[in-house]
Amino acid sequence: MLSFLFKKEHRVEALIYDYLETVERTHENFLNALTACIDNPFCENFEFFIDRTHKYESKADDIREEIKTLMYGKTLIPDARGDIMGLLEAIDTIPRLFERILYIIQTQKLEIPDFLIPDLKDLVRLSLECCELMRRQVVALFKKNESIRELLNIIDTHESHCDRIERRMITKIFESGITPFLKLQLKDLTVQIGEISDQADRVSKRINIINMKRRV
């Protein structure tokens, strides 16, 4: 009922789902690129998935700009406008992190040493799980189909686990016999990957606040 009065709002809502789907594609291609890199460093697949990651990251940026333009054309009440824009900007940090991590590996020609691979896989898996939970949380904010609070708790637990893995990896890097220069490169890579779950956790807390704000 009255949906004809809220055409722009419906368009914003549809674009947000498009945006989330695009971020998910970035996430898939990031994982594929990383898997390709671990299995066979600097193979063609790795380059291909980097390009795909970049393509989807740019597409997400374009959608975000479209949402921004539409919203500031007097769509939604200012409070909701600010919340959505802040949320999208916070989410957008994650695809940029994916891209940055892949570029670090590509441009610095990094090869992951064997002793780091199991922890790295764990860290990436958990970080991406945080991203998926965060995506579900955003959908829950707009559809109310899941408990935002429960998802927040799971993300929080995963994020703590990621922090532990990150610390363990950095310890292993500095205990290993690799060159000091490679140590610093790998440490930087580990910190960047660890930042994914940190950012997902920040976004998750933000979603919870946006949701709480809408309770009287």
- Report the interface residues with other proteins, using CB under 8 A: 2, 6, 9, 13, 74, 76-80, 83-84, 141-144, 210, 213-216
Minimum CB distance to other proteins smaller for 120 or for 151: 151
Residue 53 CB contacts under 8 Å (≥ 6 apart), including other chains? 26, 29, 30, 33, 95, 98, 99, 102
Minimum gap (Å) between residue 93 Cβ and other proteins: 21
Distance CA 48, CA 141 (A): 34
Distance CA 58, CA 53 (A): 9
Minimum gap (Å) between residue 64 Cβ and other proteins: 17
Minimum CB distance to other proteins smaller for 142 or for 174: 142
Beta strand ranges found along the chain (DSSP E): none
Distance CA 113, CA 5 (A): 58
Minimum gap (Å) between residue 17 Cβ and other proteins: 12
Chain centroid to Cα 146, Å, comes to 20
8 A C-beta contact, residue 13 and residue 81: no
Minimum gap (Å) between residue 205 Cβ and other proteins: 16
Minimum CB distance to other proteins smaller for 145 or for 179: 145
Minimum CB distance to other proteins smaller for 143 or for 167: 143
Minimum gap (Å) between residue 139 Cβ and other proteins: 10
Q: Count the neighbouring beta carbons within 10 Å of the beta carbon of residue 26.
A: 25
Distance CA 146, CA 207 (A): 13
Distance CA 15, CA 204 (A): 20
Minimum CB distance to other proteins smaller for 109 or for 215: 215
Minimum gap (Å) between residue 88 Cβ and other proteins: 13
Minimum CB distance to other proteins smaller for 51 or for 79: 79
